[in-house]
Amino acid sequence: MAYQRVEIGPEQIAAQEAVCARLRAHFTAEGKTPLALVDTYGCQQNESDSERVRGYLAEMGFGFTQDEFAADIVVINTCAVREHAEMRVLGNVGALGHSKKAKPEQIICVCGCMVQQPHMADKLKHSYPIVNLVFGPHELWRFPELLERTLAGKKRVFAVTPGDGNIAEGAPRQRDGWPKAWLSVMYGCNNFCSYCVVPYVRGRERSRRPEDVVAEARSLVAAGYKDITLLGQNVNSYGKDLGAQTDFADLLRMVNAIPGKFRIRFMTSHPKDATEKLLRAMAECEKCTHHLHLPVQAGNDRVLREMNRGYTAAQYLEKVALARRYMPDLVLTTDIIVGFPGETDAEFDDTLRLVEQVGYDAMFTFLYSPRVGTRAASMPDPMTRQEKQRNFDRLLEVANRISAEKHASYVGRTLEVLVDGPSREAGMLSSRTMNGRLVHLPGGEDLIGQFVDVKITGSNTWALRGELVK
């Protein structure tokens, strides 16, 4: 699995920016502002990648829209983790037939993890002729060049060569989440959990250099960002490919040392690699939130082994206990897959027991979805969809009850929150506590980006409700 590090240098990015300048002249001819719609599916890494797509598009002179009928370019950044996400993408790509008919010169691009799978690229090639450009995650850095080629030629462009991935520093980025920012520290995954497609589509683990991560964090703080999430499929592997001079705990301390008032979060941590050194760093870094997203996936040892997770339920529970010793106020969240091939009802009961024992603040629960090319996809899977759904519903009931109980225990407390945007309810704002709990509060939009004290007055399964303390 030796990975040959591939770095896309500043001169290569500069060449892409030169393409952006040429395309700007093309798209803004006659003084108009062209519009782009960028639609993102899936995880935070994809959100972060879409910011790079938008960065390039902004350099080409594009403004942004949510209306596909107004868009000159549509970019759909896809997810491959579950079939459901792929079905939604295909449905929405198909629906673009209407806007393309009304506006035949519209350029439709599909990128991201889904198209990195050869069978999906083929499907787009043969069944979705409205799509002009398809490119995988490893080609993102050269989106301008691919777009120029799409415009120049009569042929559709497919750039989805298999590969281990690269690191591209210095590409433009249009952030849209202020006061929150994503900061990728590494890309790819080497874990090959038997159900998961990520290692096949995102390539091998590769870490950005610590100095590049810190420089980006510094510039985010200088630009007024208040909540920085360090991203990676398994941040605990950070640095291994760099010769391990700096591991993730060291990196956390380096970012924490940047002056200014801001919060640091990170995701995702793999339980097998969550070290005591990391937990100590979390506890000691005053800017680091005491929130650990520690996906357990299942509570039964046979299932965990078949999943290739590299830990037992007991080892997982030990990590949780250790983390809570370092951080008694720890907020713990997790991911769980229900209906892994061969999982029996009795094995699933072990998951329920573990969930009760840990008492998660929030859980993300998924029905197993077979992924082409993964080991689990060829395992016998006798349980029916209905039986799996029944277990899923049982898990959800337990998860919701525990979350509601945890949330109720906040009522009456006064906590500092960062107001991060308007909430869907008119006149209400959305905010987060230091440890990541969602709090809705009444207030004006002038509070967005500020740290304020809030008294918690109510709660439900998903959120807290509070009032500003004057």
The footprint of ligand SAH (CB under 6 A) covers: 81-82, 189, 195-196, 198, 233-234, 268, 270, 295, 297, 335, 337, 366, 368-369, 371
* Contact indicator for 81, 268 with CB cutoff of 8 Å: no
Q: Are 105 and 151 in contact (CB under 8 A)?
A: no
Provide the minimum distance between the beta carbon of 188 and ligand SF4 in the complex, in angstroms, as a whole number: 9
Which backbone phi and psi does 431 adopt, to 5 degrees?
A: -145, 170
Question: Does the footprint of ligand SF4 cover residue 193 (CB under 6 A)?
Answer: yes
Nearest to 181 by CA among 97, 255, 273, 257: 255
Looking at the Cβ atoms of 19 and 337, the one nearer to ligand SF4 is 337
Question: CA dist 359 to 94, 212, 402, Å?
Answer: 42, 37, 6
> Please, which residue, 56 or 200, has the CB nearer to ligand SAH?
200
In 69-184, where do the E strands start and end?
73-78, 107-112, 133-135, 157-159, 167-168, 180-184
CB nearer ligand SAH, residue 53 or residue 267 = 267
Instruction: For residues 163 and 187, give the distance between their C-alpha atoms in angstroms, rounded to a whole number.
Output: 13
423 binds, among ligand SAH, ligand SF4, none (CB under 5 to 8 A by kind): none
| Alpha carbons 39 and 92: distance in angstroms, whole number | 10
- CB closer to ligand SF4, 78 vs 233: 233
State how far the Cα of 114 lies from the Cα of 124, in Å rounded to an integer: 10
Give yes or no for residue 191 binding ligand SF4 (CB under 6 A): yes
CB-based contact 264:289 (threshold 8 Å):
yes
Helix locations, 40-104, DSSP H: 44-59, 83-95, 97-102
Residues 157 and 304: their CA atoms lie apart, in Å, by: 41
By C-beta, is 140 or 363 nearer to ligand SAH?
363
Residue nearest to ligand SAH (CB): 335
CB of 48 to ligand SAH, least distance (A): 14
Binding to ligand SF4 by CB under 6 A, coded x per residue (else -) over 255-294, reads: ---------------x------------------------
Tell me which stretch binds ligand SF4 (CB under 6 A): 43-51, 186-194, 244-252, 276-284: 186-194
Q: Which does 369 bind (CB under 5 to 8 A by kind): ligand SAH, ligand SF4, none?
A: ligand SAH
Structure tokens at 89: 């993408």
27 vs 187, beta carbon nearer ligand SAH: 187
Cα Rg of the chain, angstroms: 23
Residue 122 CB coordination number (10 Å): 13
- Does position 351 interact with ligand SF4 (CB under 6 A)? The reply is no
Q: Give yes or no for a contact between 286 and 255, defined as CB atoms under 8 angstroms apart.
A: no
- Residue 203 or 443: the one with the smaller Cβ distance to ligand SF4 is 203
199 binds, among ligand SAH, ligand SF4, none (CB under 5 to 8 A by kind): ligand SF4
> Of the ranges 3-11, 167-175, 188-196, 278-286, which one interacts with ligand SF4 (CB under 6 A)?
188-196
Closer to ligand SF4 by Cβ: residue 53 or 336:
336
User: Shortest gap between Cβ of 366 and ligand SF4 (angstroms)?
Assistant: 11
> What is the per-residue burial (b if ≥16 Cβ within 10 Å, else e) of 323-359?
bbebbeebbbbbebbbbbbebeeebbebbbebbeebe
**Among residues 207, 234, 391, 435, which is the contact residue for ligand SF4, using CB under 6 A?**
234
| Residues near 319 by beta carbon (within 8 Å), at least 6 away in sequence | 271, 274, 294, 311
Question: Contact between 198 and ligand SF4 (CB under 6 A)?
Answer: yes
Q: Is the peptide bond before 179 cis (omega within 30 degrees of 0)?
A: yes
Distance CA 402, CA 326 (A): 22
Q: In the complex with ligand SAH, which residue's Cβ is closer, 371 or 407?
A: 371
Near ligand SF4 in 87-146, by CB under 6 A: none
Of the CA atoms within 13 Å of residue 169, those in its CB half-sphere come to: 17
Q: Cβ of residue 82: shortest distance to ligand SF4, in angstroms?
A: 12
Q: How far is the CB of 274 from ligand SAH (least distance, A)?
A: 11
Cα separation, 111 vs 135, whole angstroms: 5
Closer to ligand SAH by Cβ: residue 82 or 407: 82
Q: How far is the CB of 369 from ligand SAH (least distance, A)?
A: 4
CB 269 → ligand SAH: shortest distance, Å? 8
Q: Are 81 and 198 in contact (CB under 8 A)?
A: yes
Residue closer to ligand SF4 (CB basis): 83 or 393 = 83
Q: Which of residues 388-427 bind ligand SF4 (CB under 6 A)?
A: none
Exactly one of 50, 77, 150, 233 binds ligand SF4 (CB under 6 A); which one? Answer: 233
Interface residue list for ligand SF4 (CB under 6 A):
189, 191-193, 196, 198-199, 233-234, 270
